Amino acid sequence: MFEVLVFVYENYWRGDACPELHQLERKLSAHGFEPEEIQEALLWLDGLSLAAQNAQLAPDEACPASTGFAPVLPSPTSLRVYSVAEQDHLGAECLGFLSFLDAAGVLPPPLREIVVDRAMAAPGDPVSLDELKIIVLMVYWSCGTELDALVLDELCDDTRSRLPH
């Protein structure tokens, strides 16, 4: 499924530039993706579209980089508590990365909730960090946001090739 999502991300510069799901299915099939992968990815993308539409986002929260407004930072006294199911499915590494994005002010709470929703809908137990990064990219992609270069670099960096200091 994630290979299909990466293909969609790389070939359609924004979510609204992506063809409708039945046309996308034909294009993905023509590019050689397996029918099961395509169906899983299309179902996931449909859920992403629904989650993005249902989110009650203020203009400065929806896509902070595209609007020119500063990202909305959560209140210093607020705390996101993850359920046991979320903790199990996301794992410590993904939860730490979400906390990092939150603390850096690049993932406003409404978008974080969409990321968590889509991560919970993703296969894998737990979801890998690389898969979570794809999910974050797809959430921003769905709202047509261009990410800051440093954030994009962090999301696209292959951490397996890093050497610890």
Q: Where are the domains of the chain?
A: 2-161
Let me know: does 38 contact 4? Beta carbons within 8 Å.
yes
User: From CA 118, how far away is CA 4, in angstroms rounded?
Assistant: 15
User: From CA 106, how far away is CA 118, in angstroms rounded?
Assistant: 18
Could you read off the pLDDT tens digit of each residue along the chain, which spans 165 residues?
999 999 998 888 777 778 888 899 999 999 999 999 999 999 999 999 888 887 654 444 445 444 444 445 556 567 889 999 999 999 999 999 999 998 888 888 889 999 999 999 998 889 999 999 999 999 988 887 777 766 776 777 655 554 454
Who contacts 52 (Cβ-Cβ below 8 Å, separation ≥6)?
15, 114, 139, 142, 143
Q: What predicted TM-score, i.e. pTM, was given to this entire model?
A: 0.79
Peptide bond into 126 cis (omega under 30): yes
CB atoms within 10 A of CB 154: 18
